[in-house]
A and B are shown apart, each in its own frame.
Chain A
Amino acid sequence: MPLFGEIVEPVSRALYIDESSDEEDNLEDSGTNVTKVNWEDDTPSSPATILVFYGQLAADFLQKVLHGLNPKSAAHLKEKLLSRNKVPKELNLQIYKLSNGIYGCFCPNVDIGKSSSLVLEELVPIFKRCNQVIVVCSLPAPFFKGNDSTLDLPSAFMRALYTSTFDQKDVVAPLLESPNLVTGVPASILSWCEVFDKPGCLYVSYTDSPHLDSISAEPLVNVFSSVGGGVFKTNVLSFQSAIPEPSSNLYI
């Protein structure tokens, strides 16, 4: 939400490709993307659940939780964007084996216009083999549209969307209200699950802080107390702060 007096550029709901130039259709792709998932051991035959943590807050949560789990690094995906000036830009997507049959995927933010479909294409073979896909992402609380004004919203809360094949009983958060939308890699994964009849669930954590602390982590803790087949034990999930935030104005 803009601050009082802040000048906010109006954006078009038609997004950035709203144009009419014929020449732009003939523009060549400025870069070539190369993505590949490298498994460190053998490719798992049939993982039960894939948990995808997308965005900074969800990734910080996974990193914090991983300390208590002693997971095994299972695979990583590297994407190289070879632009015209030949400067490779790498995207690291890590997959961890959290327990037997449960894999956690740490997916950093990617440019949806350039990479989301490529990332998805590499992950699809893994999704095809697993029983269900659960995605966790975070959005700023002011982005939430509802009947309450932004200032009356809680500091952190969770909403969920799930596919028609996902068991409703396993969803541990209220349904995301229309017209709220989720974009990017989480949306592409859940859309794929719906179109190709794979049970999938997306948890969206709305927080007013981009940093992981006891307040912003609370909805994630609540969800993972019941999700993940008991992998996330209570002692693992109880923490105050994952990132050392400055607690004083004088010293770090």
Chain B
Amino acid sequence: METKTNSPAALSVFVVVIISVIMTDTIEETPQLYYPITDVNFDGCTLIVPSVSVGNVGQLCTDLLILSLGCQKTGYLWHQAILPIVGADPYKVSSPDLALPAEVYYSKNHNLVILQLRSSIIKKLRKRFLSDLVLWMKSIGVSQVTVLTGSSNEERIDEQITTEPFRYLVSAESNPSLAETFRSLGWISLEKRLHFPALSKLESLEEDNQNGGQIVIPGGGFAKQLITVCTESNLNCVALIKFCSEGDNIPDALVMLRKLNEWLKLLEVDSMGSPKLVFPHSWNHLFGNPPPRQLY
């Protein structure tokens, strides 16, 4: 007599169950990236994220934005790729709150989410971090991602030296209206380059004569890679790029903020067109302690 388990139908059910068990064991779950302090709905917000880059322009600009807009801290990002740092609250004197490497801030009035990164991303884990970050961005429903980054002054080509040291990068195919907005503000799109780095004169001429080439943001950290991942995930992403060198980069951050404000109209401006800003007290010691009195 044929038993029930030997029937073809029962066998196929058995095989399906086994396969599904194996698959659930092997498929890696996406690790939780965001740990909220308060529940906030980010749906439809613009997200601003700095790229850890030359001069830390993006991070300085983000600090200014968070304090000047009076943003509320809503949670933390926790990922293996983020190098750990911890410190005291950079925005309030004598506050026992901690400053962690990746914090999320929110401004309800401006429909704005800001991710402040205070440390670097481990290079070998950067790809995984960016894909996890974009998955999170999509899950919270942000409509637009803006990356703030610096780029090395010394790597500029002739056109970039002779014009304003600021560029934007947006995929015109994915977001033609945004590119048009930037053009109307008089901004210049980041030029493509045929060769990078160290152009010879001949290669420069060749580059001038061709429309092709590649996008490079020297010293721009993960900005370009983030745009690529966002584009692949059908998420609008734009990079604002300020050419700078290491040193006192507060003026570069102010330029970046003024440009961002021209576009998003976040802060009120005075008669000179400058946004009203509050500077973090943590900037007081950007260049170390005062000189020893014994020197004089």
Contact = CB atoms under 8 A, between A and B. Distances in A.
A196 B75 CA distance: 11
A175 B294 contact: no
Contacts of A176: 87-88
SS class of chain B's interface: helix, strand, loop or mixed?
loop
Contact of B219 (A18, A148, A188, A202): A18
B289 A148 contact: yes
Nearest to B219: A18
Given A27-B124, A145-B288, A18 B96 contact: no
B216 A20 contact: yes
Interface residues of B, number: 57
B292 interface: yes
A194 B292 contact: no
B99 A178 contact: yes
B197 to A, nearest CB: 9
B84 A162 contact: no
B86 A181 contact: yes
A150 B53 contact: no
A111 to B, nearest CB: 11
Interface stretch (B19-27, B115-123, B162-170, B230-238): B115-123
A10 interface: yes
A179 interface: yes
Given A17-B120, A194-B76, A149 B87 contact: no
Interface residues of A, number: 54
A178 B90 contact: yes
B56 to A, nearest CB: 5
Given A13-B55, A13-B56, A182-B87, A150 B289 contact: yes
A85 interface: no
Complex A-B, nearest 9 residue pairs according to Cβ-Cβ distance, in ascending order: A188-B84, A179-B282, A187-B84, A145-B285, A181-B87, A151-B292, A187-B86, A149-B292, A178-B88
7 contacts: A14-B55, A25-B225, A164-B97, A176-B88, A179-B285, A181-B85, A191-B98
Given A15-B83, A17-B126, A175-B88, 7 more contacts: A12-B54, A14-B52, A14-B221, A14-B246, A16-B120, A18-B219, A22-B225
